[in-house]
A and B are shown apart, each in its own frame.
Chain A
Amino acid sequence: DIQMTQSPSSLSASVGDRITITCRASQSISNYLNWYQQKPGKAPNLLIYSASSLQSGVPSRFSGSGSGTDFTLTISSLQPEDFATYYCQQSSNTPITFGQGTRLEIK
């Protein structure tokens, strides 16, 4: 199975900050990497697919990059509604696997 490791596991930041979350795969997954945002009590919501493509309707302050084994999600200027948990997901191989999540909290 492909292991997905996110860092950090939690992050405190302020409105307006720029933050980056990293996701590392245990083997190459090309660009089969997706990012989701999840708010408490809600289903995950797709932000970025294929490592760097912005899902329709997602604000442009979200961006993704990387290929192979190392990927990043960047939020350029945090807004109050961005405080949530973020997950990376690989869809290169079955079983599909998720990172453990990064909880983004207000400082």
Chain B
Amino acid sequence: EVQLVESGGGLVQPGGSLRLSCAASGFTFRSYWMHWVRQAPGKGLVWVSRINSDGSSTSYADSVKGRFTISRDNAKNTLYLQMNSLRAEDTAVYYCARETSVVGAPFDPWGQGTLVSVSS
């Protein structure tokens, strides 16, 4: 079964740091581009970042550029999101998702999400 499982969320103070992990199983992780998407409470989906299959290329939303870093360990089948200088507006459920190789490059599957709360 193709599966993504996020971990690492929690409560952190403004200005703090957190590292999210996304463990992949059931597919050849090193062959796929991967993404992080977040959803603030009661709000819509917002793309955060993506990384190509070998980790050599990354992209970020302007709102997190310079503060967040996406990375991957293909030997461990794991995707990461290092989040620094966290702000209250970063509070959200963070999902990892696999970009499929079909036309349209849709995201499938998604993980179950991990909640990040930034508050003093």
**Residues of chain A having any CB pair with chain B under 8 Å:** 31-34, 36, 38, 42-46, 49-51, 53, 55, 87, 89, 91, 94-101
Contacts and interface: CB of A to CB of B under 8 A. Distances in A.
A91 B99 CA distance: 10
B107 interface: yes
Given A96-B35, A97-B47, A101-B44, A43 B104 contact: no
Interface residues on chain B, size class? 20 to 34
B47 A95 contact: yes
Given A87-B44, A94-B59, A96-B35, A43 B106 contact: no
A43 B112 contact: yes
A34 B59 contact: no
A45 B99 CA distance: 13
B72 interface: no
A101 B47 CA distance: 14
